[in-house]
Amino acid sequence: MIGATVTESTGITPASAGKPAATASVSPLRPIMIALEWFGNLGSFFWQVVQAGVTPPYEWRELIRQMDEVGARSLSLVVMAGAAIGVVVSLEARYSLAHFGAKSLFPATLVYSVIEIMGPIITGLVVSGRVGAGIGAELASMKVTEQIDAIEVSAVNPYRLLAAPRILACIVMLPLLTLAADASALLTGWATQAMVEPLSFHQFINDGFYGATLNAFLPPTFKTAVYGLIIGLIACFHGMRTHGGAAGVGRAATNSVVLGSLFVILADVVLVKFILAVFP
Amino acid sequence: MTAPGAMQESKKTEPVTSLAVAIDQVHQSFGTHRVLDGVSLSVASGKTLAVLGRSGTGKSVLLRMVIGLQKPDAGSVRILGQDLNGLTLDELGEIRKRTGFLFQHAALYDSLTVEDNVAFPLDHHRKGMTAAERSERVNTLLAEVGIEGSLKKMPSELSGGMQKRVGLARALALNPEILLLDEPTAGLDPIGSGEIDDLVLKLKEERHMSSIVVTHDMHSAKTIADRLVLLDKGHVVIEGTFDDLKRSDNDFVRLFLKQS
């Protein structure tokens, strides 16, 4: 399913809306203040979404629609990106391993590098680009045409109807898309190797997953749920608090992608350390 | 509040038994621009108030305050006896269910059909409704605003006037006690404007509905409103009946009426 003053009641009026451009000299602390304000507003927005999302009525139909939008409609893109990564990692790994005389480690190298490193981050970045831009632009367009205000005056909580299902859909679908990207990468990685020298898929899987435990593969896959939270939250935040017509829509879409991708990468740094500490 | 030096031309003398909306001393600024500067006005139950003024005088901001979309910097807004200040979104929702709002540009959901737009409030607040009851209610509402046979059309396929009618049908879906209309006749042809005026009058007579109408259309305001308020520079210049405005010797009032 489903403006430039906006709703004080939803708390999504940009603090700067309607203020004149600053003419005085800019304080060197201003970027820090802007960043702190951004984080504060994001935190407040997140809290509103959580409050709305955990209390009935639940928007199941919208959640299912968003899961289709985020998951099914991103699948082909993620599978293609995974396939390309599989080929690249396969070519690079084969060359490097041959250089050190460790070609027998190829299956394990490919499996671990795809599932632990490349699959999650590539999926996060691809989804951030497609879904983040989509959510940011859609909500921003609704905002500047007063459709979000119309939802509100219809006594429907826009955080519950719009933000919560989109964020939850991203959280749920990212790990599943990561599995699809991993499978695609492993398949093309194996196929690339098999074209150079004989290697049965059965042997590739046996060697690749030899001695592997769930602890090695589940945390890297499920950390993408955090990427989903970041992508959905930032896109909804920028979409629902934009202002300024078509330019505002463009700004929201751009910010959703750029900041979403940036924070996915930064989250990866933190999550890798966390996973290594908790699942050594 | 009346501007210092400006005339509060005609204070209503008859006693008001119950107020649908009471706005008291509201102030609103955007940056350094003061839009509303101590405005007070009220709407008696079952009456229609027209808010007039030049563009940018805060008429729409005032209407958004009544529905809780805009929180005033200072002052209070009471609607149906309840102060909006400090209400949560869900508490505000209970009041909004009893209030219909027509946006200036209709604000239809562009991904929903006409039918789904009109049924949107029903789908969320009348969940026990059967499909047949829903369909019948939507048809009745669309017939009431003079649109039939456009159920499956998308908003982009409608003219501006038709979009506004659909927006009005949506605003009426939950049988509101108060109707807030932002420029309901703007962009409509004279016949369409007249039909909207007739509808507002009918709603007042048949349902005893209270309304606030923000408009530039003096003819429409004269037709549908019991009382009129003229805003300028964030202040109420005059409040009264159309005849009160006509009798005013305030320069701004006379100029406004002359140009309308």
Which residue of chain A comes nearest to B101, CA vs CA?
A: A153
Cβ(B107)–Cβ(A149) below 8 Å = yes
pTM: 0.85
Reading the block at residue B114, the tokens are: 């006409």
Closest partner CB to A149 (pick from B69, B89, B174): B69
- Range A28-53 average pLDDT: 93
Token pair 């396929």 is found at B157
Q: How far is B209 from chain A (nearest CA, A)?
A: 17
Q: How far is A146 from chain B (nearest CA, A)?
A: 5
Mean pLDDT (chain A) is: 88
Among A69-83, A100-114, A183-197, the range scoring the smallest mean pLDDT is: A100-114
| Contact assignment for B111 to A152 by CB distance below 8 Å | no
Q: How far is A259 from chain B (nearest CA, A)?
A: 27
Q: Is the pLDDT of residue B9 over 80?
A: no
pLDDT-derived band at B13 (thresholds 50, 70, 90) equals: very low
Which one-letter amino acid corresponds to residue A62? Answer: E
- Range B40-51 average pLDDT: 92
- A159-169 pLDDT, tens digit each: 999 999 999 99
Note whether A9 contacts B: Cβ–Cβ < 8 A.
Answer: yes
* Residue A237 Cα to chain centre, angstroms: 14
Note whether A23 contacts B: Cβ–Cβ < 8 A.
Answer: no
Cβ(B179)–Cβ(B43) below 8 Å = no
Chain B residues with beta carbon closer than 8 angstroms to that of A155: 92-94, 96-97, 121, 124-125, 174
Q: Is the pLDDT of residue A23 over 60?
A: no
Q: Which of A149, A153, A160 to mutate to test the interface with B (most CBs of B within 10 A)?
A: A153
Cβ(A49)–Cβ(A159) below 8 Å = yes
- Range A1-10 average pLDDT: 41
- CATH T-level fold of B19-98+176-259: Rossmann fold (3.40.50)
Q: What is the DSSP string of B57-83?
A: SSHHHHHHHHTTSS--SEEEEEETTEE
Quick one: pLDDT at residue A22?
Answer: 47
* Residue A246 Cα to chain centre, angstroms: 24
| Contact assignment for B109 to A146 by CB distance below 8 Å | no
Task: Give the Cα separation of B45 and B258 in Å (integer).
Answer: 31
Task: Give the Cα separation of A128 and A130 in Å (integer).
Answer: 6
Quick one: pLDDT at residue A28?
Answer: 82
Longest dimension (CA), chain A: 70
Chain B residues with beta carbon closer than 8 angstroms to that of A57: 124, 127
Chain B residues with beta carbon closer than 8 angstroms to that of A151: 109
Instruction: Tell me whether residue A90 is exposed, middle or buried, using C-beta atoms within 10 angstroms of its C-beta: 0 to 12, 13 to 18, 19 or more.
Output: buried
Cβ(B237)–Cβ(B58) below 8 Å = no
Torsion of CA B139, B141, B143, B148, to 10 degrees: -50
Q: What one-character DSSP code corresponds to residue A129?
A: I
Q: How far is B1 from chain A (nearest CA, A)?
A: 23
Listed in sequence order, the DSSP H helices in chain A are 30-54, 60-67, 73-99, 106-112, 119-127, 133-144, 147-153, 158, 164-196, 201-208, 214-222, 224-240, 245-278
- A:155-194 residues touching chain B, CB 8 A cutoff: 155-157, 159
pLDDT-derived band at A88 (thresholds 50, 70, 90) equals: very high
- A130-182 pLDDT, tens digit each: 999 999 999 999 999 999 999 999 999 999 999 999 999 999 999 999 999 99
Cβ(B115)–Cβ(B138) below 8 Å = yes
For A62, A141, A151, A153, the CA distances from A158, given in Å and listed in that order, are: 12, 14, 6, 10
Q: Is the pLDDT of residue A280 over 90?
A: no
Q: How far is B92 from chain A (nearest CA, A)?
A: 7
| Contact assignment for A147 to B110 by CB distance below 8 Å | yes
Beta-carbon contacts of residue A123 (< 8 Å; ≥ 6 apart): A78, A81, A82, A174, A177, A178, A181, A224, A227
Chain B residues with beta carbon closer than 8 angstroms to that of A7: 69-70
- A:142-161 residues touching chain B, CB 8 A cutoff: 142, 145-147, 149-157, 159
CATH 3.40.50.300 range(s) for chain B read 19-98+176-259
| Contact assignment for A154 to B124 by CB distance below 8 Å | yes
**What are B's interface residues with A at a Cβ cutoff of 8 A?**
30-33, 61, 64, 67-71, 89-90, 92-94, 96-97, 99, 101, 103, 105, 107-112, 116, 120-121, 124-125, 127, 170, 174
Q: Is the pLDDT of residue A210 over 80?
A: yes
Q: Is the pLDDT of residue A10 over 60?
A: no
Which residue of chain A comes nearest to B29, CA vs CA?
A: A18
| Contact assignment for A147 to B107 by CB distance below 8 Å | yes
Chain B residues with beta carbon closer than 8 angstroms to that of A1: 109, 111-112, 116
Q: Which of A1, A5, A9 to mutate to test the interface with B (most CBs of B within 10 A)?
A: A9
Task: Give the Cα separation of B122 and B105 in Å (integer).
Answer: 21
Closest partner CB to B112 (pick from A1, A155, A156): A1
Closest partner CB to A155 (pick from B116, B125, B127): B125
HEC letters along A17-81: CCCCCCCCCCCCCHHHHHHHHHHHHHHHHHHHHHHHHHCCCCCHHHHHHHHHHHHHHHHHHHHHH
Residue A275's nearest CA partner among A225, A230, A228 is: A225
Q: Is the pLDDT of residue B136 over 70?
A: yes
Which one-letter amino acid corresponds to residue A78? Answer: V
Among A172-176, B16-20, B23-27, B202-206, the range scoring the smallest mean pLDDT is: B16-20
3-state secondary structure of B104: coil
Task: Give the Cα separation of B141 and B147 in Å (integer).
Answer: 9
Q: A133-142 b/e with 16+ CB inside 10 Å = b? A: bbbbbbbbbb
Q: Is the pLDDT of residue B213 over 90?
A: yes
Domain range list for chain A: 75-278
Quick one: pLDDT at residue A114?
Answer: 92
Chain B residues with beta carbon closer than 8 angstroms to that of A157: 89-90, 93
Token pair 């509060």 is found at B8
